Structure 1
Amino acid sequence: MANPTPLSNQDELNEPGTTDDASSTVSSLSYDFDLGEEDARKLDDILKESNETTVLSHELQISHVRNIVGDEYLSDIDIRLFFNMTEREREGMVVGAPPDWGVCILSEDFDIGFGELMEERGCTPDRFQRLLVPFCKDQHWTLAIIGGSEHAIFYYNSKSRNDATIVSALGTWVGTVLGPWLGTTVTWSIHTMQAVQQSDASSGGAYVCAFAYVARDGRKIEEHFPLNAGPKLRRWFACALDTDGESAGMDLFE
């Protein structure tokens, strides 16, 4: 399975102060999230089971795995589990902020221990690169990618909604929390990524987790998934909850 093209320099990002819109001509991600034969076979075997036993490494019920692969909403627990799996500090990049941070930012409860978390991970202001923060609003998951070196917020929404409330709260948060911690007073640019990708009502969580995986290592974040990718991303997500996080080529702990 081919990896996404690495982000080589800041010039490949949007210019500061610009905003993408639904008419953007950005390309779709070439990374297709296909499962390998072994992962696909294991998942299919799980879905065929008639007994209600626990599966994978996190004791998920078979019925719940069917929901993940099917058309029901991914639960908050699913999203938290994924971000907890990917949560780490790697060369200054904080991947997967605690999911409840999105709730705190929206409620303007900005005292959420950001500095303490950075200290625990040994991440100093001069090493900080990116932070991924998932948001849930009206039963739809979206993702903020906060880039320290770019002084930019990239806001990903697979359904192209107008999320002025979230974008405004993010702008306030970087000004009151992240900016002071970094020791900078620069104006942050906000880039909304609004190309419609999700054709169903309930796959937003799978899109967000897949996009977080793409963005976690500084890979390109201006691209989008193709339309109707929901079923494939759901199967990928189910396999991602495997024992060591390496299912479907994820290599979360490499």
Structure 2
Amino acid sequence: MSAARPQDERLLATFLDLVRIYGPSGSEAPVAAYCARALEEAGCEVRFDDSAVVTGSDTGNLIAQLRGDAPATLVLSAHLDTVEPAGGVEPVVRGGVVLSAGDTILGADDKAGLAAAIECVRRLAESDGPRPNVRCVFTVQEEVGLTGAKALDPVDAQGDLCLVLDADGAPGGIVIGAPTHYTFTARFTGRAAHAGVRPEDGISAIAMAAWAIARLPIGRIDEMTTANVGTVHGGTA
């Protein structure tokens, strides 16, 4: 087996650093700070937009520009946030594959995209040949409805080629659909009654909720749809 190239080892190290940083939707600032520092060290001009006013996140979208000597602009897009449980991630490498060692996610969605974009910038900055302008656009709150991307100034996403590093398949593919979710809250209101004197006058909200939940289709409903009951709260007795 041939030894890993230093650049490949650097890419892996960046990814391992990123997955150890806590950064769920709305709390992306530590991840953004790491990315900003790495991109600045690679020669980028880094700034944050004012999207936090709209998203409520603790940071704005990160936009970094590496100046090139060719007229074209390459845009690399990824998102800064992950789903929970995202704290205390301990990555391990087994057989060339990175896994989570504990009861957490790994966070490759989308820290693999962040690491790849950062390494791309580094390698272009280190190359001797002509290179395009490169703009990295790292958005917040992708996992909760693309909130950061929706608040992004479209000018920041303009380029001759834009690669979104957040999907599987061969490079150059076009994603025309993605998972989404719909949530709703049901409230059941009962009627109090004296448990020892007139229990028949009472109506149990918990019993109503249990009856309704027991009749819901749970799990896989069809090839494209699943359903789940998230949390149940109630009762004062």
Q: TM-score, normalised by structure 1?
A: 0.25
Q: Which one has the largest radius of gyration?
A: 2
Structure (1 or 2) with the greater helix fraction? 1
Which of the pair has the greater relative contact order for Cα pairs under 8 Å at 6+ separation? 1
Q: TM-score, normalised by structure 2?
A: 0.26
